[in-house]
């Protein structure tokens, strides 16, 4: 079928319909104004069902590319992990500030005999700080998950580069 598709470049699909034991008819529709008739192609005896094994050697350039890809993946994972750490520290600081603000408002409410609008403003400020801390914590969790995902990719890239090195040494035993 691949040979047929190279011979007739405008075909959109091949529809096999067996007619006899040794011939397959392919109806060949076209996207152009031309129409192609059905083409009879002799069936290849057993060759079509055999697996083809293609050997490719791993060159030094292939190894260098695999190692560079692994290094780049680890660099991306490190940046993501550093961002997650920074966001985590920011979230912790924001949570501490929100806690202190809440305690100050609570102490003020306990010490006061009557409620004032100033107390409401302090309470709103404490809530805002708490929401900011929650948002930062959520961002830190997302960044940590992304860092973990990138670390998995980096591990796979490292394994691929190690396999490339091993295969290169098999393909080129005299290489250092």
User: Per-block average pLDDT, block size 10, for the chain (176 residues)?
Assistant: 38 38 41 43 45 73 95 97 97 94 87 78 88 96 97 96 93 83
Any domain includes 51: no
Are both 35 and 120 inside the same structural domain?
A: no
Q: What's the structural domain count of the chain?
A: 2
Answer yes or no: are the C-beta atoms of 143 and 80 closer than 8 Å.
Answer: yes
- Tell me how far apart the alpha carbons of residues 171 and 1 are, in angstroms, rounded to a whole number: 33
Are both 94 and 20 inside the same structural domain?
A: no
User: SS3 sequence, 93-146?
Assistant: HHHHHHHHHHHHHHHHHHHCCCCCHHHHHHHHHHHHHHHHHHHHHHHHHHHHHH
- What's the confidence (pLDDT) of residue 114? 78
- What's the confidence (pLDDT) of residue 78? 98
- What's the confidence (pLDDT) of residue 130? 93
Are both 37 and 95 inside the same structural domain?
A: no
- What's the confidence (pLDDT) of residue 31? 45
Are both 29 and 66 inside the same structural domain?
A: no
Are both 82 and 157 inside the same structural domain?
A: yes
- What's the confidence (pLDDT) of residue 153? 97
Are both 66 and 32 inside the same structural domain?
A: no
Q: Where in the sequence is the domain holding 124, given as residue range(s)? A: 60-171
Q: Which two tokens stand for residue 123?
A: 């309470």
- What's the confidence (pLDDT) of residue 50? 52
Are both 17 and 82 inside the same structural domain?
A: no
Any domain includes 92: yes
């Amino acid at each position: 079928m691949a040979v047929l598709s190279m011979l007739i470049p405008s075909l959109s699909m091949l529809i096999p319909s067996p007619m006899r034991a040794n011939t397959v008819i392919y109806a060949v529709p076209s996207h152009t104004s031309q129409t192609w008739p059905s083409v009879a192609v002799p069936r290849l005896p057993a060759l079509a069902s055999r697996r083809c094994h293609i050997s490719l050697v791993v060159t030094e350039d292939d190894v260098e590319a695999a190692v560079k890809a692994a290094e780049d993946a680890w660099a991306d994972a490190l940046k993501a992990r550093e961002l997650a750490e920074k966001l985590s520290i920011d979230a912790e600081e924001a949570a501490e500030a929100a806690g202190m603000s809440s305690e100050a408002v609570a102490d003020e409410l306990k010490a006061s005999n009557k409620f004032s609008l100033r107390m409401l403003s302090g309470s709103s400020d404490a809530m805002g700080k708490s929401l900011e801390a929650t948002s930062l914590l959520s961002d830190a969790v997302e960044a940590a998950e992304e860092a973990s995902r990138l670390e998995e990719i980096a591990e796979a890239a490292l394994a691929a580069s190690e396999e490339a090195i091993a295969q290169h040494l098999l393909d080129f035993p005299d290489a250092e």
